[in-house]
Structure 1
Amino acid sequence: MSWAQPVRIPADVDQEDRIVGGFTARQVAILGGTAGLLYAAYMLLGEHVPLMAYGVGALPMALTGILLAIGRRDGVSLDRYVLSALRHQRSAKALVSESGNIPPAPAWIAARPVPRLAPLRLPARGVADDGLIDLGPDGVAAVAEVSTVNFALRTPDEQDALVSSFGRWLNSLSGPVQILIRAAPVDLSETINNLVDSAGALPHSALKAAAHEHAAFLTGLSARHDLLRRQVLLVVREPCAGAGGRDAASARALRRLEEAARLLSGCGLTVRPLDAPATRALLASCFGPADPPLPTDQLATPDEVITTGEHR
């Protein structure tokens, strides 16, 4: 009985295939295009320009082609890096939350140089009252926060049970799902204030002193270190295609979260779907992780005019 020769899978599955002399198709195209341009230039100018002068002029072009083909920066090929830099240079830097035509600037602003404006296009169009994220043509997404378990402290039998329960949930998936582990900053100011406020109601002076000492310890800890907490998020997405459109997609997304909560409970995990305020706070923290959360009563709607010191 003969066995097929095993195939070695590279560690980087996204690595491009090398087709000629250790070069990828992209590198061959760049080098071949550069060589073709140099040959065409030689055929046009060879009879009119000395060979030495042509070589001096062609050397920068040849070096540029070689660098674009084999050069890399921050893990990105140099040709893609240059194209991204050119697109960034030509793109508008001032983005506004306007989906249609951007109105012209007022007269009192137009007197000064105004940068070119462009609409800010984000994947999320908004957050519904039930906490679902509207992704526009891509459907809807539901987000839930998941607790964690200490896998290393479990016995081998318990670890096998956890893996089996998690595998059953993976086998039950019927659509796209994302498991996101993020580090979120921790604000201890509310805890410290509650500790100081409740210290006065303690029956013994030693307890009051201990409460104030612990509050001082937490204050110093927050001042010396950037406190972070690990947050595990489960995101499910449902397209709007089919009968029912967005309402049906929303119902399917919520039902998938309920199924995940039921199946992952066998692993000792708690799945808590995020409501609308929590989802908005999560999206806002993703744009500014280091910024403190803003009170919801101080946020203006997109169509409100914001004046100095207040919004109305």
Structure 2
Amino acid sequence: MTEPMTDLPCTARVPADVEAPDRILWGLTARQIAILAAAAAIAYLLWRAIGDRVPLAVTAAVLVPVAGAAAVLALGRRDGLPLDAWLLAAVRYRRRPRLAVPTEPVEPSGWGPVSERRPLPAVLRLPATAIDDDGSIAVPDTGSVALVVATTVNVDLRTGPEQAAIVGAYGRWLNSLTGPVQVVVSTQRVDLSSQATRIADAAHELPHPALADAALDYAAFLDELAEHRDPLGRTVTVACVAPAGARGEAVRRAEHTAASLTAVGCRSAVLDAATATAVVTAAVDPFAPTDASWPRTPPNDPVTAARSS
């Protein structure tokens, strides 16, 4: 007789800090060594310039702040970033215009009365410029991006062999990647009112009155739920990136990702132009009372409506 199969422990080694910079010398990165070397050169030049002309205490008073500032800049961190990168981002933020418009700003005429001279707004430059018919998003600095939506898998409810199979399938997808991907897990407020309206409008087209009544009751339930609760929805979106010039490569990578995630146990699909527009619209303004559950018209397509006779 064969012994019953026992649940095997599912373990996976995940390396931490994959994108951490390499330590070159004395546990310091190349960036830290460059900052400290530049500070040491400045301190040496200052010592050569004033070391023989002023007392030692004055020289130390000049060099100690330079050394301290260099050490803090090289070794300090703020909000998970190196301090020099954080300061550079702060300077760029302060120098960036606060107001942006989608078109070129027009210089005000000089003949009109101007009570207060305000800075002109800057041009709003979004990272994505167009959405093709196949759903690929054109990004000038990157290439093209195709989106894949996927559901989640409850691994805790699976047995040991099933967990091992899920981890193995996910690992095979990661090893098969030939370009960068981004997995975005977002939680947004679900707009149940608009969904209830669509269900109520479609209820009159159902073939049986009982089905129509059930649909109307369900729409009323959604309206009541949206009024008394704050429902949230979690979405998992995988962005597959392809280099510039490779037309259709992003969609092919997205189709491969969708097929690989199906082996994991997820329901996945490549987004077309209308659904990708909805996802991007909801991502730009996550606090708006809309969601990505219904498709939008792509930016370059005209909006038409069929006129009923």
Give the TM-score band, short-chain normalised: 0.5 to 0.7
Distance in 2, Cα, partners of 1:11 & 1:79: 23
**Structure 2 unaligned residues grouped into runs of 5+:** 1-13, 204-208, 301-309
Q: How far did 1:187 drift? A: 1.7
Query: Shift of residue 231 of structure 1?
Result: 0.9
Is 1:280 the equivalent of 2:280?
Answer: no
1:48-100 alpha-carbon deviations (Å, 9 max, x no partner): 434434443444333322322332222222223223222333333333435xx
What aligned pairs does 1:48-59 form with structure 2 within 5 A after superposition? 48-59=53-64
After TM superposition, give the deviation of residue 10 of structure 1 in Å.
Answer: 7.7
The answer to whether 1:152 aligns with 2:156 is: yes
Label 1:268 to 1:117 Cα distance change in 2 as closer, same or farther (>3 A): same
Q: Which amino acid aligns with 1:219?
A: E
Query: In the superposition, relative to structure 1, how do residues 172 and 34 fare at CA in structure 2: closer, same or farther (>3 Å)?
Result: closer
Residues 1:41 and 2:38 aligned together: no
Structure 2 counterpart SS, 1:285? helix
One-letter identity of the residue aligned with 1:279: A
Please tell me whether residue 219 in structure 1 is matched to residue 227 in structure 2. Answer: yes
- Secondary structure of the residue aligned to 1:145 is strand
Report how far residue 160 of structure 1 moved. Answer: 4.5
Partner of 1:60: 65
My pick for the range that moved more, 129-138 or 170-179, is: 170-179
Give the alignment of 1:229-248 within 5 angstroms: 229-241=233-245
Q: Distance in 2 between matches of 1:165 and 1:235?
A: 19
Structure 1 residues 23 and 40 mapped into 2: Cα distance closer, same or farther (>3 Å)?
same
* Match of residue 72 from structure 1: 77
Percent identical among aligned pairs is: 35
Give how far 1:164 is off: 5.0
Contact 1:261–1:271 under 8 Å retained in 2? yes
The 8 Å contact of residues 146 and 271 in structure 1, kept in 2 or not, is answered as: yes
Contact kept? 2:150, 2:267, Cα under 8 Å: yes
Q: Given the alignment of the two structures, is residue 292 of structure 1 paired with residue 300 of structure 2, yes or no?
A: no
Q: Corresponding residue for 2:107? A: 105
1:141 paired with 2:145, answer yes
Is 2:127 the counterpart of 1:123?
Answer: yes
* Alignment CA distance shift 1:138-1:61 (3 Å): closer
Structure having the higher helix fraction is 1
1:156-305 pair list within 5 angstroms: 156-166=160-170, 169-170=173-174, 172-191=176-195, 216-222=224-230, 227-241=231-245, 249-250=247-248, 252-293=249-290
Cα distance, 1:117 vs. partner? Answer: 4.3
Distance 1:16 1:260, change over 3 A: closer
- 2:73 is paired with a residue of what secondary structure? helix
Deviation at residue 122 of structure 1 after TM alignment = 3.1
Aligned amino acid, residue 188 of structure 1: L
SS of equivalent residue, structure 2 residue 279:
helix
Offset at residue 195 of structure 1 (A): 8.7
Q: Which amino acid aligns with 1:220?
A: H
- Offset, 1:284: 2.2
Distance 1:214 1:202, change over 3 A: farther
Deviations 1:185-220 (A, max 9, x none): 21222356679998xx989xxxx9999788545521
Deviation at 1:42, TM superposition (A): 3.0
Q: Secondary structure of the residue that 2:235 maps to in structure 1?
A: strand
Residues matched between the structures, number: 272
Question: What is the rounded CA distance, in whole Å, between the counterparts of 1:119 and 1:181 in structure 2?
Answer: 30
TM-score (norm 1): 0.67
Report the Cα distance in structure 2 between the residues aligned to 1:287 and 1:238, rounded to whole angstroms: 22
Q: Distance in 2 between matches of 1:161 and 1:39?
A: 61
Paired AA for residue 82 in structure 1 = L
CA distance in 1, matches of 2:106, 2:69: 42
Shift of 1:180: 2.6
Q: Please give the per-residue CA displacement for 1:220-255, whole angstroms capped at 9, x wherever unaligned.
A: 112xxxx321111232233343xxx5xxx22x4334
- Report the RMSD for the aligned CA atoms in angstroms: 4.2
What letter is aligned with 1:189?
Answer: S
Q: Which amino acid aligns with 1:233?
A: T
Query: C-alpha distance in 1, partners of 2:200/2:105?
Result: 51
* 2:105–2:123 contact (8 Å) kept in structure 1: no
Q: Distance in 2 between matches of 1:175 and 1:18?
A: 26
Change in 2 beyond 3 A, CA 1:115/1:57: same
On the 8 A contact 1:192/1:218 being kept in 2, the answer is no
